[in-house]
Amino acid sequence: MAGLVWVDSDVIQECESEYQHALSSETPDQKLLENVKFQLAWALAHSRNKRDVKRAITLLQGEELEPYASPNRQRDHYFTLAVAYLRDGDNIKAKDMVDKALEVSPKCSQCQSLRTEIVEATAKDALIGVGLLAAGVGIVGSLLLAGSKRR
């Protein structure tokens, strides 16, 4: 995840404060509330803390994009959700979300870079899995061979 930025807890606290302030308003401005909620989700998705990342997923999954949402808004939503899924270790959902972002904005270089990163992470995870499987098969084979020599 070399190309992605990280956010520290101070930024998250500031976004959380703005979000809580917008929520507690007597007559909340829906557009403002939507914007500060997205800013909070973005900050959480870019956190090193796993709980923050999971909270970003919850905030973004629960948010239904309005049919009239601008293409940029849709792209940003899907991209941020892809970042959160990637940081949570769910490469399949991350790829699905970045693909949705690319459907909306095919020339988005940030989305293209993230997709490459997701594909590389998935390949790396697959290689590790194959290595572990091969090691397991080797151990089982060794045990069976040792057991057959004792008989």
DSSP character string of 31-94: HHHHHHHHHHHHHHHTBS-HHHHHHHHHHHHT-PPPTT--HHHHHHHHHHHHHHHHHHT-HHHH
Instruction: Give the whole-angstrom CA distance, residue 34 versus residue 25.
Output: 13
Name which residue leads in pLDDT, 106 or 139.
Answer: 106
Name which residue leads in pLDDT, 2 or 112.
Answer: 112
Apex 32 CA angle, 27 and 34, nearest 5: 110
Is 91 in contact with 121 (CB distance < 8 Å)? yes
Q: How confident is the model at residue 42, as a pLDDT? A: 96
Q: Is the pLDDT of residue 106 over 70?
A: yes
CB-CB neighbours of 96 under 10 Å: 16
Question: What are the distances in angstroms from CA 1 to CA 5, 82, 129, 147?
Answer: 9, 12, 20, 45
- pLDDT category of residue 86 using cuts at 50, 70 and 90: very high
DSSP structure class, residue 4: S
Give the residue-averaged pLDDT of 74-97.
95
